[in-house]
Chains A and B, each alone.
Chain A
């Protein structure tokens, strides 16, 4: 006499079949009328594969354009098996896609692909980051004037930084907005900052000194330390101009005074 499995066992068996075409799934527990049970299960596997493919296509449009539809489907299917979805919210699906993509045999002749994917994941992080009100120019100047010691700056949560040995920004723009002209890539890599601006993700490739400054600020360093990091890249680095750009782009959300025991130097005299 056949006994129906407990719900948990049934669901484990069902989900195994959705993630692995070699798994037969709970076909013996299914009504066998009109369409064979294995074919009915394949409908669900196909649906789930399509859902995950579309989620990746939404998050990684440049990668999809660069590799073509057939290869992207292959990469998505591989990723889905290697890194099953771990959330009922599909916005979280795809974090490890860049590393998975790089490990595919045919991708190694296109070494920039992983970094294009990493840039796209940072775009996703920027899109979903929490909202925090930025300081106006007047508020910033008022806080600055009231400072009596060293300070840190809180940047907008959507702000992301990314360094690549490849010209990822040009690659991303070419992939998402192709032109008839042949793409001529610069030989150098990119230091990219990304942030959310009026609902869209803005991206800019910036010089090494500005990047060092923003990177230091984002990591919580003082303005002094950020200035020093930037000056190590370029002794003529213009700190006030860099900070003014951040304020103008609504990316500074607070100036945080550093307690005297943390630092005795004032970092803001140059701004």
Chain B
């Protein structure tokens, strides 16, 4: 598929509104109460099993809400091979649920058949750009649709890169013709961890390819001489990230935005309140541009 064909297919049925990541503790309540949430995102791997109660629940939820599938285990940047079985499962899932968006991370997680099951950083090299562009093209061709990739948070940097992080992300998106899932929290976390201006990062991204935004909370590690933020998805979105999100919306325009919370998961109301905050930012932008 050419980049032009992929872009032509990208007209997304996902509303430019604030959805939430649907996690196991909230599934039964969502089924019972059908809260006013514009869309949900689920981790693809949680639905990889052939059966189980989650499929039954998700089929009912999918009937009433737009859905985004977000992968954490494809390991696009592994230098040895793409896991063909993992990709096959993803294809089956996409065919079954017809999600509005399908995404993964710009990272690696496994090599030689061993998996860290974490999102590991890549060097910002030409070799890594070429590998990712090739892999993403393979995934898009296999899925027959646009695929989104997400910038990750990192706690180390490799020397000898050919790109800055923001140019690396932009170049991968440009070469592969994929969409971008811009995690604003990850940009902020990395700006603190590696010492750069997050606005420079934001304004270097290809805004015509941004299909989704992620927001989440981080934690601070205090045992080091310099600040270090860990992307734990365990707290409310930080005030500095809300500011950066407002700047992102001003630059990208209204984009489907997701509240992620994966550890110490609170009551659904907390997530709904975070989503309402994101809606206020989207509404404020629309009011200014009306």
Contacts and interface: CB of A to CB of B under 8 A. Distances in A.
Contacts, number: 150
A86 B48 contact: no
Contacts of B230: 43
Given A88-B45, A89-B86, A6 B51 contact: no
Nearest to A19: B114
B158 A31 contact: yes
Contacts of B52: 127-129, 131, 196, 199
A196 to B, nearest CB: 7
Interface string B74-117: 11001110010010010000000000000000001111111111
23 contacts: A11-B78, A31-B159, A34-B225, A43-B156, A43-B228, A44-B120, A51-B117, A51-B118, A85-B115, A85-B116, A86-B115, A87-B73, A88-B72, A88-B75, A89-B45, A89-B48, A89-B73, A90-B117, A127-B53, A128-B52, A129-B51, A130-B50, A199-B52
Nearest to A3: B160
Instruction: For the complex of A and B, list the 7 residue pairs with the smallest distance between their C-beta atoms, beginning with the closest.
Output: A88-B73, A199-B53, A130-B50, A34-B226, A128-B49, A8-B79, A40-B156
Contact of A30 (B49, B73, B86, B156): B156
Contacts of A140: none
Interface in B116-144: 116-118, 120, 122-123, 125, 127-128, 131
Contacts of B155: 40, 43-44
Contacts of A127: 49, 52-53
B56 interface: yes
B114 A85 contact: yes
- The range of chain B's interface size is 35 or more
A242 to B, nearest CB: 25
Contacts of B89: 89
A244 interface: no
Interface of B: 45-46, 48-53, 55-57, 72-75, 78-80, 83, 86, 89, 108-118, 120, 122-123, 125, 127-128, 131, 155-160, 194-195, 224-226, 228, 230
B228 A35 contact: yes
Interface residues of A, number: 49
Contact of A7 (B74, B128, B159, B226): B128
Q: Which interface residue of A7, A33, A41, A44 has the most chain B CB atoms within 10 A?
A: A7
Contacts of A8: 79-80, 111
A10 interface: yes
B158 A44 contact: no
A86 B117 CA distance: 9
A31 B72 CA distance: 26
